[in-house]
Amino acid sequence: MSKGTMTILGAGLSGALLSTLLAQKNYSVQLYEKRSDPRKFGLEEGRSINLALSHRGWQALGQAGLKSKVQEQAIAMRGRMMHSETGDLSFQPYGTEDQAIYSVSRLGLNRLLINEAERAGAELCFQHRCEEIYLKRGAALIQNLGNEESFVTEPDLLIGADGAYSTLRTAMQKTPRYNYSQSYIEHGYKELSIPAKNGDFALEPHALHIWPRGGYMLIALPNADGSFTCTLFLAYEGKESFAKLNSPAEVIRFFEQRFPDALEVMPQLTEEFFANPTSDLVTIKCYPWSRYGRNVLIGDAAHAIVPFYGQGMNAGFEDCRIFMELLEEHGSNYADMITHFQELRKPDADAVAELALKNFIEMRDLVADREFLERKKIESELHHRFPDRWVPQYTMVTFSDTRYSDALRIGKQQDKIMRRVMKHYDYASELTDQDYERIVTLLDAED
Ligand SMILES: Cc1cc2nc3c(=O)[nH]c(=O)nc-3n(C[C@H](O)[C@H](O)[C@H](O)COP(=O)(O)OP(=O)(O)OC[C@H]3O[C@@H](n4cnc5c(N)ncnc54)[C@H](O)[C@@H]3O)c2cc1C
């Protein structure tokens, strides 16, 4: 017996996982995706080829019983490998020895989730685009792009998992007093690659590689075939910018000066640089996430963020987990469930958006800064000595379920305390046992 009918718009990462979870719980699920089936074709658009999956993502995958299947495709990255301009390497672990974030293929993960949704009984319709929304009815007009025929679907609940430029959200934006903002940063990104060398990884595989250069950076994540996907984050305009890189010679000169060790392992650099698009980085905020109680937004449709904390997909997966928990709690009272969902998640979505923007500065700049590195050492020692009383913000965000809003708030308290500490000490080695005790007591006093 079906518990209710759910239509999901978008078979991206959030939509495919939520379809699986709902179908596993005996909801009748119809999933409409405008693209072709990614199990038959590659992704059409050039969005990041691999993604960092961390605790929140694993939790939601675990809820669907998919942890071990995804694990088979994932490569552990235990820390950041920093590349200086002279090619010196330094490794900064993300946490304790058993803590890692995981590089997974976007396409591989999407295909796996779509297979699982189908196996659980969801009805999948590819090349079906949502054209129009009838908000009050919770209905959508869907066009079959194969034969151009259109029809209306009117489920118990219409779920917009249709990404940053969501059709469902666009309809909500036309209703009175709807809050919406989108802001682009001045940087764009371009994907490049480091191929496997004699069938093996050209760089250490169990790390996220970063070439921080102040106002911009290059990063690389490993792929299962021995290659790395690199992403260059650079301003669109200015002295060092995409606008200044107009010829193969200019690109080579820029890499020779700024990323010489990367250039050595990027034989296809100039071809890829001019073949691959330069894409935008946007933060989208909106509220409410539902209008009139029969529809709701999840994932990027509700909260698109910049990728610098590696949390966009993880936050979308956490949406799915919490959505299911609240559905269990509220049963078929969808209106109450949605109200609860958006009230709970909105502060966390705003917090992770702020954290992601802040982490860009940390990644491109501070990770190469001596004071910052000493501070990290002190915080790691504090966590080691007082595991429950001082948890570094990165650990809360990446390796725990702590609400993003709490991680943001506690992180600000830690910042305030650490600014005071760093006025008195240059190196972690100068601190005594009593100093550590005093510092953790300061954080206790903030609560
Ligand atoms: C460069 C980059 C790097 C990133 N790295 C990470 C990372 O390391 N870790 C991490 O957690 N996150 C990362 N992210 C974020 C992550 O990619 C997104 O948060 C995630 O893909 C959101 O999933 P979603 O399912 O909500 O939306 P999407 O993946 O955008 O899926 C939306 C789907 O809806 C479909 N659709 C859209 N409109 C319609 C319509 N009208 N009708 C039918 N279907 C429609 C689209 O075709 C698409 O398949 C990164 C993002 C970028 C840009």
- Tens digit of pLDDT for each residue in 277-327? 999 999 999 999 999 989 999 999 999 999 999 999 999 999 999 999 999
- At residue 149, the 3 state secondary structure works out as coil
**Ligand 1: centre distance to CA 307 (Å):** 11
For the segment 249-267, the average pLDDT, to the nearest whole number, is 98
DSSP labels for 253-271? HHHHHH-HHHHHT-TTHHH
48 lines ligand 1 (CB under 6 A): yes
Predicted confidence band of residue 43 (pLDDT cuts 50, 70, 90): low
Count helices and strands in the chain by DSSP H and E runs: 14, 19
Q: Is the peptide bond before 307 cis (omega within 30 degrees of 0)?
A: no
Beta strand 208-212 with 79-83 is parallel
C-beta 227 within 6 A of ligand 1: no
Asked whether residue 213 carries a pLDDT value surpassing 90, the answer given is yes
Q: Please tell me if the CB atom of residue 355 comes closer than 6 angstroms to any atom of ligand 1.
A: no
> At a CB cut-off of 8 Å and minimum separation 6, what does 189 contact?
231, 232, 233, 234, 278, 279, 281, 307
Q: Which atom of ligand 1 is nearest to the CA of 12?
A: 31
> How far does residue 175's CA lie from ligand 1's centre (Å)?
25
The number of distinct structural domains making up the chain is: 2
- What spacing in Å lies between the alpha carbon of 83 and ligand 1's midpoint? 29
| Residue from 19, 23, 21, 26 nearest 2 by CA | 26
Same domain assignment for residues 351 and 382: no
Per cent of the chain over pLDDT 90 is: 89
What range does the domain containing 418 cover?
369-446
Ligand 1 pocket residue status of 35, Cβ below 6 Å: yes
Tell me, yes or no, whether 30 and 148 share the same domain.
Answer: yes
390 and 442 inside one domain: yes
Q: pTM here? A: 0.96
Average pLDDT in the chain: 95
Contact of 159 with 298, CB cutoff 8 Å? yes
What is the three-class DSSP state of 400? coil
Q: Is residue 380 part of a domain?
A: yes
**Does residue 114 share a domain with residue 172?**
yes
Q: How far is the CA of 68 from the centre of ligand 1 (A)?
A: 23
* CB 130 less than 6 A from any atom of ligand 1: yes
Q: Give tens-digit pLDDT for 53-62.
A: 999 999 999 9
Does residue 269 form part of some domain?
no
Ligand 1 contact, 261 CB (< 6 A): no
Q: What is the pLDDT of residue 42?
A: 61
Residues 110 and 175 occupy one common structural domain: yes
- Please indicate, yes or no, whether residues 160 and 34 belong to a single structural domain of this protein: yes
Burial of 25 (0-12, 13-18, 19+ CB in 10 A): middle
Q: Measured in whole angstroms, how far is the alpha carbon of residue 402 from the centre of its chain?
A: 16
Q: Is 105 in the pocket of ligand 1 (CB under 6 A)?
A: no
pLDDT tens per residue across span 388-412: 999 999 999 999 999 999 999 999 9
- Looking at the structure, do residues 117 and 145 belong to the same domain, yes or no? yes
Has residue 83 been placed in a domain? no
Same domain, 354 and 373: no
